[in-house]
């Protein structure tokens, strides 16, 4: 996403140097209150961090000096890394608008309950204004004057609270016109005074109804400010607001604002595979092969982190990292292991393995978790060393944006990320520095990420600018925090005057066929007899399970700056044992459904169709699975053993269906 403010950087710098000419007297007085007495270009200690100060001043400059006609007609956007303190910037803007611009109403939108609860905690009773010393005594404005109402909290009082509150906090869905409650809430806003709009986690906003709601509010909005750490979405879209400031991972590492991420992967030499009849459980063959030969078998990537033995191995690596983090914490706080699974069934297996096999107190949080468990997840940062605190939490992408627990010191990935947005959001959960009594701002802190080479996440680590150092022996003792490299240099825009706008594509310029793109094979014709071909597929019930790994060591990649590769001793081999996880019936059935949905979308897109056609493919595959593996029963009524069988066979279904040219196209074109 392009930084729209780049062209104004020179003028902005001159404006600051010349004493902020053109500002209203009230705005000048408030900015003077926040400014350091020793440096008129910096914020006063205890208020805003340097990058927050830069964000704040750019918003003021855009709104009061440049104006909406020049920039921000749809809104302004701040792209600030997770852990960079976006909430403090929002609070400073709220205080400025109230004191200097006489704005009395502030609406904060967020995409989910986790983000909402975090904002509610910060703004309840004006806490954030007190913590950052944002309200001058001469302003006759107290923290309690910012009366908060949170939609959906059970404490709001309908129209009355929406009219009387200074700060209205809610999920965007609570203003949608597709439901009566949303209609009522939006009507209350639109019949009240003009307001400032804060759209947190703004990368969600291109969703059609989300976007329509923002446009409906536009006529009443004096200033819209979007905030996000990942403006570019997985679908390639971005918010319609103008980005005016970027503060990314490299900058935050240079300033010591976030932890240094370190990635650990097993260095595997040999693999033992067991071939089993998926229906009867009969062991058919066991073979041991070198790691270099593994690819020829075409094993599913997630098997390397979800089969029993690999999962335990990855957990052993993660728990060793957790022990290291606990030694560094030295009783000042309780570090937490954050485990990320792809589905509820894998999450249940991970939680039970940690609790029962490794004897680590673990919390499971899924979309089916009750409010008690969700609250426990939010309160992990408040755990005390006394008692029996949770040392691990397992989630199925529930704890993503907005879940801010600085004590997350280790992240274990039990899934493969196809989305760069989701990958960055998950790693972001571990970037926030621990700021408690006894922990100095200069103390080095790391976030250990336990990954697997077969998940192929190198693209994710490249986002964090990974470097390597070789030559560290297996038996070397090593503490990352003792020899971390200096942080990377901050990237500054050297010549903003040379920034040019990329002109839009001229629709009148057409390709008249002058470019030779070579011969392109036409796609296979859709099969009219697709059902006959689908029914004719035969399956081998033999499945391959990874039952033993020979690990030479654990490889760690230090991220950011001049990092290195470290090799640690392999974790102690755990005593072999039977399965300890008893996955619930509901979770297994849900896993089959989710697997079919994901498979349907992938096959649909690979066949050259829009993902919206996946429903037709899903219906055909569901009937196919019922006939082949569930004895004709529905997924909800089939015997548990048959459901387990179907789940194990899904990878083979995908391969065989994809291997018939024109089959998926036939389903889409000719299915009823």
Q: Where are the domains of the chain?
A: 6-247, 260-490+542-568, 584-670
pLDDT digits (tens, 9 = 90+) for 232-287: 655 556 778 999 999 888 888 888 888 888 888 888 888 888 889 898 888 888 88
Residue 450's contacts (CB-CB under 8 Å, 6 or more residues apart) are 263, 264, 265, 314, 317, 318, 321, 410, 411, 412, 413
Q: Is the pLDDT of residue 40 over 70?
A: yes
Q: Parallel, antiparallel, or unpaired for β 542-558 and 260-277?
A: antiparallel
pLDDT at 337: 94
Using pLDDT thresholds of 50, 70 and 90, give the confidence band for residue 474. very low
Q: Using one digit for the tens of pLDDT, what is the confidence trace for 150-190?
A: 887 665 555 677 888 899 998 888 888 888 888 888 988 89
Tens of pLDDT along 102-116? 999 999 988 777 778
Using the predicted structure, report yes or no on whether residue 657 has a pLDDT greater than 90. yes
Round to whole Å and give the CA distance between 422 and 28.
Answer: 40
Q: What is the mean pLDDT of the chain?
A: 83
Average pLDDT of 3-24? 94
Q: Are 370 and 398 in contact (CB under 8 A)?
A: no
Residue 656: pLDDT over 70: yes
Q: Is residue 438 over pLDDT 50?
A: yes
Nearest one of 642, 618, 657 to 541, comparing CA atoms:
642
Ramachandran class of 148: left when φ > 0, alpha when ψ lies in -120 to 50, beta otherwise: beta
User: pTM of the prediction?
Assistant: 0.76
Cα distance between residue 657 and residue 531, in whole Å: 11
CATH 3.40.50.300 fits 6-247, yes or no: yes
pLDDT value of residue 372: 79
- Cβ-contact 197, 223 below 8 angstroms: yes
Q: Do domains 6-247 and 260-490+542-568 have the same CATH topology?
A: yes
pLDDT value at 443 more than 90: no
**Domain 260-490+542-568 classification at class level:** alpha beta
Percentage above 90 pLDDT, the chain: 43
Q: Which of 17-26, 279-288, 362-371, 637-646 has the least mean pLDDT?
A: 362-371
Handedness of CA 237, 239, 241, 244 (dihedral sign): negative
């Amino acid at each position: 996403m392009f930084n729209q403010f780049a062209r104004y950087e020179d003028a902005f710098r001159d404006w600051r140097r010349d004493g902020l000419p053109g500002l209203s007297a009230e705005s000048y007085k408030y900015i003077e209150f926040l400014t350091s007495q020793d440096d008129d270009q910096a914020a006063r200690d205890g208020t805003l961090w340097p990058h927050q100060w830069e964000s704040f001043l750019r918003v003021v400059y855009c709104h009061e000096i440049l104006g909406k006609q020049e920039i921000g007609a749809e809104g302004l956007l701040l792209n600030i890394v997770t852990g960079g303190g976006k909430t403090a910037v929002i609070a400073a803007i709220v205080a400025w608008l109230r004191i200097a611009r006489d704005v009395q109403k502030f609406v904060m939108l967020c995409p989910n309950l986790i983000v909402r609860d975090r904002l509610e905690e910060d703004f309840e009773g004006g806490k954030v204004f007190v913590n950052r010393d944002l309200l001058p005594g001469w302003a006759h404005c107290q923290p309690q004057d910012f009366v908060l109402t949170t939609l959906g909290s059970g404490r709001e009082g309908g129209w009355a609270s929406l009219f009387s509150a200074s700060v209205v906090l809610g999920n965007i869905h609570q203003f949608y016109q597709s439901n009566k409650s949303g209609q009522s809430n939006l009507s209350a806003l639109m019949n009240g005074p003009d307001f400032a709009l804060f759209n947190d986690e703004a990368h969600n906003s291109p969703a059609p109804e989300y976007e329509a709601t923002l446009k409906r509010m536009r006529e009443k909005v004096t200033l819209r400010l979007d905030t996000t750490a990942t403006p570019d979405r997985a679908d390639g879209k971005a918010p319609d607001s103008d980005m005016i400031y970027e503060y990314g991972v490299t900058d935050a590492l240079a300033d010591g604002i976030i932890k240094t991420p370190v990635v650990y992967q097993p260095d595997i030499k040999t693999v033992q595979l067991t071939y089993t009849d998926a229906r009867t459980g009969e062991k058919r063959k066991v073979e041991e092969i070198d790691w270099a030969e593994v690819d020829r078998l075409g094993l599913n990537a997630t098997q390397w982190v979800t089969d029993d033995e690999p999962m335990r191995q990855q957990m052993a690596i993660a728990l060793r990292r957790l022990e290291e983090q606990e030694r560094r914490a030295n009783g000042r706080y309780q570090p937490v292991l954050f485990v990320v699974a792809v589905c509820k069934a894998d999450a249940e297996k991970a939680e039970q393995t940690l609790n029962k096999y490794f004897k680590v107190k673990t919390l499971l949080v899924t979309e089916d978790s009750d409010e008690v468990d969700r609250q426990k997840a939010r309160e992990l940062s408040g755990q005390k060393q006394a008692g029996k605190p949770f040392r691990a939490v397992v989630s199925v992408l529930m704890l993503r944006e907005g879940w801010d627990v600085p004590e997350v010191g280790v992240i274990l990935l039990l899934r493969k990320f196809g989305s760069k947005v989701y990958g960055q959001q998950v790693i972001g959960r571990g970037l926030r520095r621990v700021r408690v009594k006894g922990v100095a701002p200069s103390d080095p802190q790391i976030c250990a990420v336990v990954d697997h080479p077969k998940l192929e996440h190198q693209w994710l680590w490249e986002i964090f600018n990974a470097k390597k150092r070789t030559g560290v022996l297996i038996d070397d003792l090593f503490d990352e925090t003792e020899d971390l490299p200096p942080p990377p240099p901050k990237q500054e825009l050297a010549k903003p005057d040379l920034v040019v706008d990329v002109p839009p594509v001229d629709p009148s310029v057409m390709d008249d066929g002058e470019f030779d793109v070579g011969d392109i094979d036409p796609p296979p014709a859709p099969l009219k007899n697709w059902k006959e071909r689908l029914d004719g597929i035969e399956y081998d019930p033999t499945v391959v399970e990874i039952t033993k790994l020979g690990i030479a060591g654990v490889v760690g990649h230090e991220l950011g700056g001049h990092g290195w590769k470290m090799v640690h001793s392999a974790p102690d081999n755990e005593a072999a044992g039977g399965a300890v996880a008893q996955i619930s019936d509901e979770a297994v059935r849900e896993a089959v459904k989710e697997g079919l949905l994901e498979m349907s979308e992938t096959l649909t897109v690979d066949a050259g169709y829009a993902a919206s056609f996946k429903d037709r493919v899903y219906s055909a595959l569901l009937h196919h699975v019922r006939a082949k593996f569930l004895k004709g029963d529905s997924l909800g009524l089939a015997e548990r053993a048959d459901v387990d069988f179907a789940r194990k066979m899904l990878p083979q279904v995908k391969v065989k269906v994809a291997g018939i040219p024109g089959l998926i196209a036939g389903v889409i074109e000719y299915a009823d």
